[in-house]
Structure 1
Amino acid sequence: LDGCAPLNRRSPCDNEPDLLIGARKGSPLILGVGEGEYMLASDGSAVVEYTKDVVFIRDGELVEVRKSGYRLRTIEGISTRQVSIDEDVTNPLVQLEVSLEQIEKGGYPHFMIKEIMDQPNCIRNTCRGRLYQPMQEHDSHPPPKWDIRLGGLNTKVQGTEKTALEAIAGADRIIICACGTSWHSGLIGEYLIESLA
């Protein structure tokens, strides 16, 4: 399992057709617990319409969901591809304290205004864990520069390990998929990529 993303997968086994597996590495993953139903999502806004009871899956944890219930376990060695599933863990059931209306517009009259006002937090969240200052003496002048770490973005292309930039540079075709305000960013990205090609 490579990359910064949660994984949700139905069981490929014929003898366990009701098994759904979710694993978290980097990106958020929650389990919504409803009456006789379970939902896996990356954000509470996806499940709050159906249930307010959720379990937050921590980084390096796996959840097995069946009709009869769910089970949380830790996963070791995700990045080394030598995965071993260890002991069960217990994460508390938490009740979301938001309504669907609050999540959708966040108190703003329009979605566009909400997205404009959310931009500083979105940039902060995007950069969290990726920008850092190298360790230097406290009295260093000028102040230390920031470095960027883009871990988890490596991929295998035809059996060869490549960085995301190398994979994109060697691509024959790039598809940008977006909606809402991010569609405009996609158009700008398309223009930039075409100008480099």
Structure 2
Amino acid sequence: MPGGRPRGFDPRTALDRALEVFRRQGYEGTSLTDLTAAMGINRNSLYATFGNKEQLFQQALDRYAAGPGAFAAEALEEPTARAVVARTLYGAVELTCGAHAPAGCLSVNTVHACGPESEPVRAGVVARRAAGEDALRRRLERAPDLPPGHDPATLARLVHTLTDGIAVQAASGHDREQLLGVAELALRALFPAQDD
């Protein structure tokens, strides 16, 4: 018989529950008590399975990028710059004001709501965001339909600025239809010759 007791919980389900709490309350606003209550485990199980709060948060960010935030990576597979930007903007709207999503964006909220004691967490999120912007820039450099005068690096930064703004507006109470209108207007402005 193998040593040790089997886990009495599913780590994937527990991680999903931790992600939900972090999305609602932010990194600093979430206590270990909040996490253990939502995950249905005690602190010893949390530490043994996920490490400390910061390590759990990093795992939750990975889960976020592969789940609710997967649209960002999927957008890079689109065939044109316009389609890449459209999928990114519309994905940001769905992420931040979808039917079952907490308003706002986990990474945007973390960057803006971390105090000095959580600087390593904030710096890690900033690095992830910079990597995402760089991946978008590289994809736009290969796009066959980049309008004249559109620098890929500046366009990638603008798209990230727009998605951040969508997240902030969603957290401020703007609804899905309002933010879809913002995304549509941005697409018309950025790709005027390609309007549908």
TM-score category (smaller protein):
under 0.3
- With the length of structure 1 as denominator, give the TM-score of the two structures: 0.23
For CA contacts below 8 A with separation 6 or more, give which structure has more relative contact order: 2
Higher strand share: 1
- With the length of structure 2 as denominator, give the TM-score of the two structures: 0.24
Higher helix share: 2
